[in-house]
Structure 1
């Protein structure tokens, strides 16, 4: 019969043996979790896409990107393919074509119908530029509402992507605020380019908190300070605290995290995309 001393010794050894297992198991219940998915704006690799779209998309999928955001270049949103052909290739790669920047003043209804047909979520206005009057931004808000109506009719959403100009006071008002206040939240969302918000001297977290549920997409692009001011750098090499910003955004309705790189010091665009993907894999909320 096992005596009390043997029993205590054996159970002590057993308890010690479980310590590493408990440590590993506890990570399952960590309050932090990895991003469920992340994408890339194809502008980052536009030259590669022009040269060989299929190989470029395949490499992005191998790097870990599982979502794509497009733009309307010389070959159109679908790079010369039919929308259904483009989706088929995305499916083959295990990727989703979430959204695309596009020209909203030309054939927008047709673009919305094509996007909806292949299950895209958003069409996005990428640029309006600095204006002379705040009334111009009020007009843009009206235009966005109309685009939002068209998108809603097709079962998708419309959004506007910011640069720094929309945060610069004009006629005593902030254009970004004017556009957000004058657009219908049931029709129009916003894509926060975090880089440009920071470049404008604004706090992304404050904007997320002030307008919960309005920023559904974001561009994850780091800002490095240079002698000339600032430039886009590899994620984690700049000044932006993405951990706290993305956590704040997610708590306020952010759903899509899209990498964009615009400067490639010492690397080519595809290599920069790979480096940024490795960073995104380590992001936790």
Structure 2
């Protein structure tokens, strides 16, 4: 693993068109591994001006986009194909989207493939009453994985805190991981929620090498309730040791590092997105 300084665009690019400037500045800002952002972090801004927000994210140096189902779906007023093309023209990759698996999942998979995405991700299932309920969700995830595979995608599940609290002598997240087919189902490790449950990220990353394809990289304020969304803070301002976690995660197969922030104090979502991009530039992998 080597550390390199990021290249920066010179002001000589001012003669380029705005779109070309955005693309070039984004390419110049990237490291050997690109980091991305979950658009839910910009949920206050995306509905009003999704194209403008995406342009700013490209300027900040984000190279990957993870969408979610907003008021106009996963594609923000675009068709699937035009959304993918627009994001790529900005120098970013629309790698994935969160979406509900409760309805029209096959259609969503086909549209995500049309947009050029690699993954669809279930964002939550809620706390379940029994381990058998979690096993049933594992079976459902396998079926979603089959649908995604037929569309040319992969499927993943994104955790919250509740799957990491013991239930009847077992950790539900173990149940989900041990009852899903690795050929069909990956996982997105939301490190914030894992820490909220009092768990050690490195223990889980090492326990299941290759299963956590994605992470949500978001920092956590100390001494907050486990279910608190307002515990989310700008990277580097909380208690999570990302310099100690992310290199190990990469070594164990994690390849998508998605910034997410859910609460803002004394700043705006876009300002935090810019600050988070600066923080993420310290991590480079060969």
Runs of at least 4 residues off by over 6 Å: none
- For structure 1, the 5+ residue unaligned runs are 1-29
Q: 1:106 aligns with which of 100, 103, 119?
A: 103
2:213 is aligned with 1:207: no
Correspondences of 1:21-170 after superposition (within 5 Å): 31-32=2-3, 34=31, 36-170=33-167
- TM-score normalised by L of structure 1: 0.87
| Contact 1:217–1:256 (CA under 8 A) maintained in structure 2 | yes
Q: Report the structure, 1 or 2, having the larger helix content.
A: 1
Deviation string, structure 1 residues 37-65 (Cα, Å, up to 9, x no partner): 00000000012101110111101110111
Secondary structure at the counterpart of residue 276 of structure 1? helix
Secondary structure at the counterpart of residue 49 of structure 1? coil
How far residue 118 of structure 1 moved from its aligned partner, in angstroms, is 2.5
Deviation string, structure 1 residues 49-107 (Cα, Å, up to 9, x no partner): 01110111101110111110011122100012100111121122111101100011211
1:278 aligned partner: 278
| Contact 2:97–2:119 (CA under 8 A) maintained in structure 1 | yes
How far residue 228 of structure 1 moved from its aligned partner, in angstroms, is 5.6
- TM-score normalised by L of structure 2: 0.86
User: Computing the radius of gyration over CA atoms, which structure comes out larger, 1 or 2?
Assistant: 1
**1 CA distance for matches of 2:224 and 2:201?**
24
Change (3 A) 1:208 1:227: closer
2:190 is aligned with 1:193: yes
| Contact 2:33–2:284 (CA under 8 A) maintained in structure 1 | no
RMSD: 1.4
Correspondences of 1:220-259 after superposition (within 5 Å): 220-226=217-223, 231-259=231-259
